[in-house]
A and B are shown apart, each in its own frame.
Chain A
Amino acid sequence: DVKVTQSSRYLVKRTGEKVFLECVQDMDHENMFWYRQDPGLGLRLIYFSYDVKMKEKGDIPEGYSVSREKKERFSLILESASTNQTSMYLCASSLYTGPPYEQYFGPGTRLTVT
């Protein structure tokens, strides 16, 4: 079974703090993704990576950065957390080669910025 794990289920941070969200997958998947999920807005893609040290902006990259130094690990960084970044953050991974392009999701990190 593919397993995607995220470092924390719940996180509370203060405005202005630097926040690291870690994601690890154990199936040697090339693609990895970071989404945020908000009521009424659904899942929105922040960044994705299709290889080590490669990254592509998604729909809402502002205020975020990412790091992928190893194939199995994809980190999301909030350089200076703000209250509008309070959200559920979901990491996902998928194989690069061909459909169905199924994405395997982690359990999510609920981040609250106060």
Chain B
Amino acid sequence: QKEVEQDPGPLSVPEGAIVSLNCTYSNSAFQYFMWYRQYSRKGPELLMYTYSSGNKEDGRFTAQVDKSSKYISLFIRDSQPSDSATYLCAMSSTGNQFYFGTGTSLTVIP
């Protein structure tokens, strides 16, 4: 069983839609949770960071962590064509080694 599972998509939505991206994990020791965004032919960039359970909001982006269910989500409101990218979840118990999901490819259609 993989440490982190993520639906690879691809996901295609119209501009303005709400997007929900999800990951599940098996290691209950994970406490640092991140979402990275990766544009084509670029390296990933940190989008959201959450420690332990709870919600975090940053503009159109909301990250949720449910440790009891071992489930994390990223919501994108009012999606824009510029949000078209691959989104990777990542998590760690210590902060040294992170385990990444396979990434979900998102296309926002104008």
Give the interface of A toward B (CB within 8 A).
Answer: 4, 31, 35, 40-45, 48, 50, 58, 90, 92, 98-103, 105-108
Contact = CB atoms under 8 A, between A and B. Distances in A.
Interface string B78-110: 000000000010101001111011110000000
A101 B99 CA distance: 13
Contacts of B49: 99-100, 102
Contacts of A41: 102
A105 B6 CA distance: 21
B43 A42 contact: no
A99 B8 contact: no
Contact of B8 (A4, A40, A50): A40
B42 A43 contact: no
B6 to A, nearest CB: 7
Contacts of A102: 34, 46, 49
B60 interface: no
A99 B102 contact: no
B100 A43 contact: yes
Interface of B: 4, 6, 8, 32, 34, 41-46, 49, 51, 88, 90, 92, 95-98, 100-103
B44 A105 contact: yes
Given A42-B102, A43-B100, A50-B96, A99 B51 contact: yes
Contacts of A99: 32, 49, 51, 95
A92 to B, nearest CB: 7
A93 to B, nearest CB: 11
A43 B90 CA distance: 9
Contact of B98 (A40, A101, A106): A101
Which residue of A42, A50, A99, A108 has the most chain B CB atoms within 10 A of its CB atom? A42
Given A42-B103, A105-B45, A106-B43, A100 B97 contact: no
Most buried by B among A100, A102, A108: A100
A103 B34 CA distance: 10
